[in-house]
Structure 1
Amino acid sequence: MTENRSLEELVEQFLEQCRSGNAPEVSAFAAAHPGHASELLNLLPLVLEMEGLNAEITRRLPHQTSEVPELPDSDYRLIRRLGSGGTGVVFEALQLSLNRKVAVKLLSPLLLKDTARRVQFENEARVIAMLHHPNIVKVFGAGCSAERCYYAMEFIGGRGLDRCEFSDPREIARIGLQAARALAYAHRCGILHRDIKPANLLLDEAREVHVSDFGLAFVLRGGGEIVEKEEARSGTLRYMSPERLAHGVNTFATDQYSLGATLYELVAKSPLLPERNPGELAKRICREPVPPLRCSAPDLAAIINKCISFRPEDRYAGMDDLAADLQHFLNHEPVCAAAPSPARRFRLWIKRKPAVAALGFAAAFCAAAFVAALAAGYLRTTAALNQAERNAAVADATLSQVFARLAEQLPSQKNTQLLSTLLPYYRMIAGERNLPESRISEANAVIGECALRTGNYALAEEAFRNMVELSPDAFPINQLATTLKKQGKSAEATELSRQVVARFADSKQPEERFEAVRALLALSEAPESKERSRAFGILETLLADHPDNPEYRFQYAQLLAGNPRLFRKERIPGVEPNAVVLLLRLADACPEQPEYGLALVELMLRRLRYARGFQEQNRQELAEAVQLSERLLGRWPNDPQIVSAVVSLHTRYIGFLRRDGKEPQAWRETDRLLGILEILFYNPEISDAVKENLIGLQLQRLEPLRRSGKSGESASLREKIKRELDYYHGPMLPEFRKKLEKPDRAIGIFPPP
């Protein structure tokens, strides 16, 4: 490959030789590189002065002034030199109009007449001025004339990463995260930096990173590429990606490679590649991948190694993905760059959730004992094999007990995550003991149900997919369809429901025909659809044989609630044809099944839309449904769907009482709802939905107190809301604070969810 060293690379090579004590003569060095000889003769003396090299080197060079220059007719007074680069020198300066410290980058006088260099310098100022990000240096102003060219930027009281040392890999990851987010923002704005290296990442005194020096930046719209001509390629050789160096291809992936190379050197405390000769280094970069980084933090090493992949398509899809993986590493979560083993996932989870991890120590201990006993089995002794089997049995029993106990508890995010973490151990033990796959399927069912109850639909989807892979029966397919529908994946959910109907509607097994009923109801879009009619026909045969089956009764109630007219003439012997009565009885008889009570609440919400024609029986049923909803919320406070539905029902019921002229009863019901929510509010596992509804209702109560002039009660309630806001960190916090802090304006009614 032909050497294609740019002027910047030659200057860097010259300075490296000077720093190593082997300073060449300027004239001899320039003669050795005839393509840039005249430029080197003009530029090297100035560069040596900017670098402050020793007098023994500089005394052989033409005299250069070391005084701080002036910027007449400008708003800036230069104070002292901070550093220099290939095209200019940076000074600390004072902005006179605002009396603030800034940094001013001044184009080298020798480059003022170089049109290409001047355009590049002006382009750098314009590019940085386009970007507004906390981790990108800000430009305040610029000025160019025949005598000088400069721009003023934010003063960073720190130094480049090339002058910093780090011992903690997490600190390096934090720095990389800030730089990745800054570059992700720049890429979204269409800006490709093209010269990311340690010296261009400035670390301030608060340990915050600032990306600087956009002198080589390109505008790259639409995520495409720009191909440089060989003679125009510029940048710092050591941090250039293979595709850019070999073929001049510039994409956003080239910035990612440069950042990865920078992080590699910070972790390894040594250059990315050992070659020092520019020609050899260029050939080495283009020839084969960089040796993988190895360090005490294997996940961080995997992230960096992915960034510096030889092929661009093997790197992250974008800087946002890189930033997300660095955040996973800092959060002690598995990273996409590495596929952690179950044990690795478990260790990361313990770091994230040390309190919850205590619940799993017994199971982990037994699993470790089993592994140790399994290793002993290689001794081929009967005693060792028997011991291994006993330990495996203990581990199996312990993990089974953990799953059973947590399944009996109220679902919570922590319990759900714990079950998910323990599942790989359970699968390993089951495999070693040749246990049936149904045991693993049952464990996935527990995880899926808990995740579904707590709104963790992604985890629920994973668990039910595992069940379908083990045994593609009707129930797990239906559960997977339900989970997909909650995530908005309607097309896939519909296809799964159709599969259940096609395979199981005519089954001889009642359980499978019942799942077909569930699938038909999921497919029905209208009250009088053919799917509902077919579901009713199947249910009729099921209830004829099993009239007391609660699940069959529940689905019949759902059909009645959807369209009572459809079954006005058709009756199922022994089954109450009133959906409200059916659901009330089912919810009272089976409190461990929240879907019964939730279906009743949703039915009442629909009926309350047309509540003006309510008869006495309807009013009694409504009051019973409200009472049942309170019990439902008390038992399932972490289910976001239940919280939303129950609060909506109470809110509409209170409105119904007010329209009915029962203001005192409406206030009592409001107090009851507030009391329930206040009991739940300070539970650390409680969802934001509960807190938002409580605070919203409190704000509703505050407004009439303000209007009536009851300053004492109003002040007391304001203080209470302030205390509650200290425990709420959700997305509505700014809106809540704004309403609370404006006592002279109406707050308005908090809309029901």
Structure 2
Amino acid sequence: MDERPDNPDPIEVLDGLASDFVARTRRGERPTVDEYVTRHPEMEARIREVFPTILALEELKANRSPGGPAPHASGLPQRLGDFHLLREVGRGGMGIVFEAEQESLGRRVAVKVLPRQALLEPRQLERFQREAQMAARLHHTNIVPVFGVGQDAGFHYYVMQFIQGAALDRVVREFARNGSSDLIEAARDTIRHAFPAAGRAPVPGRETTRLLADDVRRAARESAGRDGEAAPDAAAAPPAVPSRQGAAFWASVARIGLQVADALSYAHSQGTLHRDIKPANLLVDAQGLVWVADFGLAKAIDPDGSHSGDVVGTLRYMAPEQFEGRTDARSDLYSLGLTLYELLTLKPAHQASGRSALIHKILHETPPRPRTLNPQVPRDLETIVLKTIARDPVHRYASAADLAGDLRNFLEDRPILARRVSAAERLWRWARRNRAVASLAGTSILLLALVAISASVGYVREQELHARTEATSELALSALDKIFARFAPNRLVPSNSLAVTDAESEAIEIPAQSVLSKESAALLEQLLEFFEDLSEKGTEDVKLLKKVAEATRRLGDIRQRFGHTGQAQAAYRRALALFEQLAARTPGAFACQTAQIHNELGNVYAALQRGEEARASYQEALGLLLALPEGSARQAPVRFDLARTYYLLGRLRPFGGGPPVGGPMGGGPPPGGPRSGGPRPKEGPPAEQPGPAQDAGRVPDGPPHPDGDDPKAGKRGRFEPPPEFKEKREYLAKAIAVLEGLVAEQPSAPEPRHLLACCHREISFFRTADEGSEHLAAAIELLEALTADAPGAPDYLYDLNETRATITWRENVAMRQKDADATAKVTERLAQACASAETLLSAHPNVPDYAASYIGICMRLAQLHGEAKRHAELEQVLRKAIPVQSALTRDFPDVAPYTFGRMMLRMSLAGALRDQGARPQLEEARSLYEAVISELLPAGEDVAGRRGHEQRFLRFSLGQAYADLGRVLSALGDEDGAATARTKAEELRGPERRWPGDRGERGDRDRR
């Protein structure tokens, strides 16, 4: 009697069919895939996916020579194209992933391979090609990059970045097994097992060949659920271990979810749905970075934001609407939510013994709340997950960005948006986030509230209460200023703008502000309302009016740090008016405060690209300080303000500073690239600049030498500097003279030494070759001493890194003259600065200025590698910088230099890859250029509504991207596409705007 159940488990059925298929093949029969499909039409999809791979492996065993070398267990040759296959690192129903070495570049990559073309079903090949195409268009920190595709010896394959990481399902198993404190630690343990330090695992040989059929059947089990079966998932296996699930564990779950949500937000913005998010498709590396892999089921989003059609996915992680053939971005979020649910509970959200029961649960039942399975799960994290896995898409997060925002709120201990919180809870959260200042701030809040009450006319009538009000306001402002100084200190040096220089030596600049970290911004938001309240108080009392004026000035400082230039300008003007009222009553008493505000107002004008108004504001401050009587002028604070005013007037331009630092290598935006310095003066003969295709990574020419008589100037000849160069140099010299006096009198005071170092660095661009080097050496010496004296003051190390990364005029000329010693010296100094900047960023990952500094130094170092044709080093530096820049862009989407900086880094990497010339590199370069264009096009459509410098930047950047894409397409043999790209480039730039070195122009110049 047949005792099999009426509804056998489809997994067991598939396993039995696969075993039967293997047994018949080994007996010498020739079973076909179609035969099994005919007998079991209900399992057609799974049979066609798995059986061809089994057949390929069995044919390998039958054809192997008994005495020859063992081939790969998968039947593959040792080499595919330029890639030497080292070892298998993963497999699924449709293909096998190998670690490989790309011999032409000497780098490790991952190669995903399908069986021989003759064994492929059309559906498999279509899915494989879709995965490569979809993934190649996506460039995100948390998405595995695809470098290129190929076909060799009948095998289709594509090449990815090799991620030394572990799939999340394996990480969860390791967490349950070894006693790790969180998932990141468990990932490191898993990676140590998979990638032993002793060396690479050997290529699979004869011993593993006998296990191939079992491997494929196991892969079939894991993938069978894609078309509807209830495949058991590895992440569901471990038992719960709540005793070890502490704060570190919950934070690691949230960080994993945040990174995947960020990646999905980007993919969705690019019009791509993943449709198979699950633990097995999420890789975690040793640094805790999560990589989204396997876009084999990805689909383009329809214009209405959805996708309709086939029902695909891994059943356990499919959203209810997917069973109706409806999919949109919220379906991916549902799958991610179920993954997070498993991480919280170490159990699947839906468990059932068969396909029908599982589908019923997904469609009609809500999973148990995680806290009912483990009460230690944080309430907010549970709320986030439950909102993400709501059965009705309307009740889920509207976008991956919204989910990422709430996960970020949870990690930063802020109220999540999934529910409302009371004012009391919000205050409690703020205090818990800022333990170091909570008591100080709390006292300040109470004091300031008392000031607000006491400043009314009724309270100040009594002399005793008046004195009490005065003392209270002094305490409150002092406490608040201490908080401000700790978390958002004023920069002695304004932030640099981002600039690129076109072929006519004109700068296109994007203004920058010193961006606050999210933590500091949140704290200042709390202080802002208090300063606003106090600044609005009216009083005739001089002492209280002074407090109001000081609070209003501080309000402007906060607004400026937020980048709210219009509001900062208004606050500073109101503060000036208040101090003018005070000065009318006490002549000459508030000149320093007024001068400081004029300097800050000048910095606001500089950020708005209003250079003449910035200069006028600095001059106003200078006039006030110089008009002080001799007794006041000799005071140290006044002399320091005077030196800072001289410094601001003496910078290379009113809104920036620093040397040209070069731009994208290998054909990004034009020679000269992004700079922290000012534009090249229009006077004097233009330099002969090689084009990007010919001189990838060249060191920029920089401004003409102001002394004009450098014997190494070569073709540039003698240059007569414009009058303002001499004036600026004189201002800096005066600043240095004042500061040297202050340092002699107060050798332990850090502020004068810090500003003196900045002045030495700035003047090095205006001095002769030898003097420039001496000034730079003096700046480095001062900053090294400051860093040693105050290791806990990261801003000194920040400026030290920036100074070490400075290239003097003499060094610049020597490197253009191919001076090997000078190049080696600068490269060593830049490498030291880069390593130090990376260390600083690691210690302070939430300070955007430190991240921006690290990226800028990476760019300078990469240029030198490009000049020396050190392709591997060039590519490594750029690939390290791009994720940092992407994180800045994600966290601060409204800061233009960050957005354009990411674009320029990508174009730099694309140019470096293009210049290597190999097809995989050309394919990746093409994808990078296309990604840049896709990001710039929406902004370009609104170009008419933008300010002049932004219009120029967008047109210039978009045109350059099209021009470079045309070169790549031509190298790939797509002449039609290349012609179209060149046409678009000329439409944006005009034929007269070609960069020197573009095709045609260079040849014409050479013939002349």
> So what's the TM-score if we normalise by structure 2?
0.43
Q: Find the partner of 1:728 among 769, 785, 795.
A: 795
In structure 2, C-alpha distance between the alignment counterparts of 1:601 and 1:625, rounded to whole Å: 23
Give a deviation string over 1:134-189, Cα, whole Å, max 9, x none: 43223344334794322233333333111222441222222223323333333333
**Secondary structure at 1:164 match in 2:** helix
Query: Shift of the alpha carbon at 1:590?
Result: 7.4
In structure 1, C-alpha distance between the alignment counterparts of 2:290 and 2:79, rounded to whole Å: 33
Matching residue of 1:274: 351
Matching residue of 2:738: 672
In structure 1, C-alpha distance between the alignment counterparts of 2:628 and 2:116, rounded to whole Å: 87
Matched-pair contact (CA < 8 Å) for 2:79–2:85: no
In structure 1, C-alpha distance between the alignment counterparts of 2:370 and 2:131, rounded to whole Å: 33
1:623 aligns with 2:630: no
Matching residue of 1:738: 805
1:411 aligns with 2:481: yes
**Secondary structure at 1:150 match in 2:** strand
Q: Find the partner of 2:90 among 61, 71, 83.
A: 83
Which structure is richer in relative contact order (CA contacts within 8 A, separation 6 or more)?
Answer: 2
Query: Shift of the alpha carbon at 1:739?
Result: 2.4
Give a deviation string over 1:356-411, Cα, whole Å, max 9, x none: 346479999xxxxxxxxxxxxxxxxxxxxxxxxxxxxxxxxxxxx99984434461
Matching residue of 2:252: 171
Give the residue type in structure 1 aligned to 2:436.
A
In structure 2, C-alpha distance between the alignment counterparts of 1:674 and 1:732, rounded to whole Å: 19
- Residue 356 and residue 306 in structure 1: after superposition, are their counterparts in 2 closer, same or farther (change >3 A)? same
1:133 aligns with 2:137: no
Give a deviation string over 1:242-297, Cα, whole Å, max 9, x none: 3333x433222222222222111111100012334333333333336544433433
Query: Shift of the alpha carbon at 1:195?
Result: 0.8
Q: Find the partner of 1:240 among 296, 299, 318.
A: 318
Give the residue type in structure 2 aligned to 1:227.
H
**Secondary structure at 1:132 match in 2:** coil
Query: Shift of the alpha carbon at 1:124?
Result: 0.6
Matching residue of 1:121: 128
In structure 1, C-alpha distance between the alignment counterparts of 2:20 and 2:760, rounded to whole Å: 81
Matched-pair contact (CA < 8 Å) for 1:112–1:146: no
1:106 aligns with 2:109: no
Give the residue type in structure 2 aligned to 1:728.
D
**Secondary structure at 1:739 match in 2:** coil
Query: Shift of the alpha carbon at 1:213?
Result: 0.5
In structure 1, C-alpha distance between the alignment counterparts of 2:532 and 2:614, rounded to whole Å: 36
In structure 1, C-alpha distance between the alignment counterparts of 2:9 and 2:533, rounded to whole Å: 58
In structure 1, C-alpha distance between the alignment counterparts of 2:433 and 2:552, rounded to whole Å: 29
Q: Find the partner of 1:302 among 361, 372, 383.
A: 383
- Residue 115 and residue 691 in structure 1: after superposition, are their counterparts in 2 closer, same or farther (change >3 A)? farther
- Residue 677 and residue 271 in structure 1: after superposition, are their counterparts in 2 closer, same or farther (change >3 A)? farther
Query: Shift of the alpha carbon at 1:197?
Result: 0.5
1:211 aligns with 2:292: yes
- Residue 650 and residue 45 in structure 1: after superposition, are their counterparts in 2 closer, same or farther (change >3 A)? closer
In structure 1, C-alpha distance between the alignment counterparts of 2:741 and 2:392, rounded to whole Å: 61
Query: Shift of the alpha carbon at 1:458?
Result: 4.1
In structure 1, C-alpha distance between the alignment counterparts of 2:264 and 2:426, rounded to whole Å: 29
**Secondary structure at 2:628 match in 1:** helix
Matching residue of 1:69: 75
Aligned length: 551
Query: Shift of the alpha carbon at 1:331?
Result: 3.7
Matching residue of 1:153: 160
Matched-pair contact (CA < 8 Å) for 2:144–2:161: yes
In structure 2, C-alpha distance between the alignment counterparts of 1:463 and 1:717, rounded to whole Å: 39
Counterpart mapping for 1:10-49 below 5 A: 14-15=10-11, 35-41=41-47, 43=49
**Secondary structure at 1:210 match in 2:** strand
In structure 2, C-alpha distance between the alignment counterparts of 1:676 and 1:312, rounded to whole Å: 66
In structure 2, C-alpha distance between the alignment counterparts of 1:276 and 1:682, rounded to whole Å: 75
Counterpart mapping for 1:380-399 below 5 A: none
Q: Find the partner of 2:339 among 239, 262, 274.
A: 262
| Structure number, greater radius of gyration | 1
- Residue 277 and residue 696 in structure 1: after superposition, are their counterparts in 2 closer, same or farther (change >3 A)? same
Matched-pair contact (CA < 8 Å) for 1:161–1:203: yes
In structure 2, C-alpha distance between the alignment counterparts of 1:716 and 1:117, rounded to whole Å: 65
Matched-pair contact (CA < 8 Å) for 1:125–1:151: yes
**Secondary structure at 1:283 match in 2:** helix
Q: Find the partner of 2:278 among 197, 205, 212.
A: 197
Query: Shift of the alpha carbon at 1:316?
Result: 3.8
Matching residue of 1:421: none
Counterpart mapping for 1:299-698 below 5 A: 299-340=380-421, 345=426, 348-349=429-430, 352-357=433-438, 359=440, 405-409=475-479, 411-413=481-483, 458-459=525-526, 557=580, 583=583, 586=586, 598=597, 609=616, 622-624=626-628, 647-648=644-645, 651-652=648-649, 667=733, 670-672=736-738, 695-698=757-760
Give the residue type in structure 2 aligned to 1:319.
A
- Residue 663 and residue 68 in structure 1: after superposition, are their counterparts in 2 closer, same or farther (change >3 A)? closer
Matched-pair contact (CA < 8 Å) for 2:780–2:804: no
In structure 1, C-alpha distance between the alignment counterparts of 2:408 and 2:760, rounded to whole Å: 37
Matched-pair contact (CA < 8 Å) for 1:583–1:596: no
Matching residue of 1:440: none
In structure 2, C-alpha distance between the alignment counterparts of 1:152 and 1:121, rounded to whole Å: 12
**Secondary structure at 2:144 match in 1:** coil
Q: Find the partner of 2:149 among 142, 150, 154.
A: 142
Matched-pair contact (CA < 8 Å) for 2:764–2:771: no
- Residue 405 and residue 122 in structure 1: after superposition, are their counterparts in 2 closer, same or farther (change >3 A)? same
Give the residue type in structure 1 aligned to 2:305.
E
In structure 2, C-alpha distance between the alignment counterparts of 1:14 and 1:737, rounded to whole Å: 66
- Residue 335 and residue 668 in structure 1: after superposition, are their counterparts in 2 closer, same or farther (change >3 A)? same
In structure 2, C-alpha distance between the alignment counterparts of 1:679 and 1:275, rounded to whole Å: 80
1:228 aligns with 2:308: yes
In structure 1, C-alpha distance between the alignment counterparts of 2:521 and 2:745, rounded to whole Å: 19
Unpaired runs of 5+ in structure 1? 1-11, 53-64, 365-400, 419-452, 469-474, 498-517, 523-550, 559-581, 638-642, 747-753
**Secondary structure at 2:481 match in 1:** coil
> So what's the TM-score if we normalise by structure 1?
0.55
**Secondary structure at 2:113 match in 1:** strand
Query: Shift of the alpha carbon at 1:122?
Result: 0.8
**Secondary structure at 1:744 match in 2:** helix
Query: Shift of the alpha carbon at 1:600?
Result: 10
Query: Shift of the alpha carbon at 1:234?
Result: 0.5
- Residue 415 and residue 664 in structure 1: after superposition, are their counterparts in 2 closer, same or farther (change >3 A)? closer
Give a deviation string over 1:442-470, Cα, whole Å, max 9, x none: xxxxxxxxxxx9997744665589999xx
Query: Shift of the alpha carbon at 1:105?
Result: 2.4
Give a deviation string over 1:486-545, Cα, whole Å, max 9, x none: 779899999xx9xxxxxxxxxxxxxxxxxxxx99x98xxxxxxxxxxxxxxxxxxxxxxx
Query: Shift of the alpha carbon at 1:117?
Result: 2.8
Give the residue type in structure 2 aligned to 1:235.
G
In structure 2, C-alpha distance between the alignment counterparts of 1:204 and 1:456, rounded to whole Å: 33
- Percentage of identical aligned residues: 28
- Residue 728 and residue 666 in structure 1: after superposition, are their counterparts in 2 closer, same or farther (change >3 A)? closer
Matching residue of 1:425: none
Matched-pair contact (CA < 8 Å) for 2:131–2:298: yes
Matched-pair contact (CA < 8 Å) for 1:160–1:199: yes
Query: Shift of the alpha carbon at 1:209?
Result: 2.1
Unpaired runs of 5+ in structure 2? 1-7, 22-32, 59-70, 173-182, 184-244, 446-470, 489-519, 536-547, 603-611, 653-723, 788-792, 814-1008
Between 208-217 and 35-44, the greater mean CA deviation after superposition: 35-44
In structure 1, C-alpha distance between the alignment counterparts of 2:355 and 2:311, rounded to whole Å: 14
Matched-pair contact (CA < 8 Å) for 1:93–1:101: yes
In structure 2, C-alpha distance between the alignment counterparts of 1:85 and 1:135, rounded to whole Å: 21
Give the residue type in structure 2 aligned to 1:215.
G
Matching residue of 2:370: 293
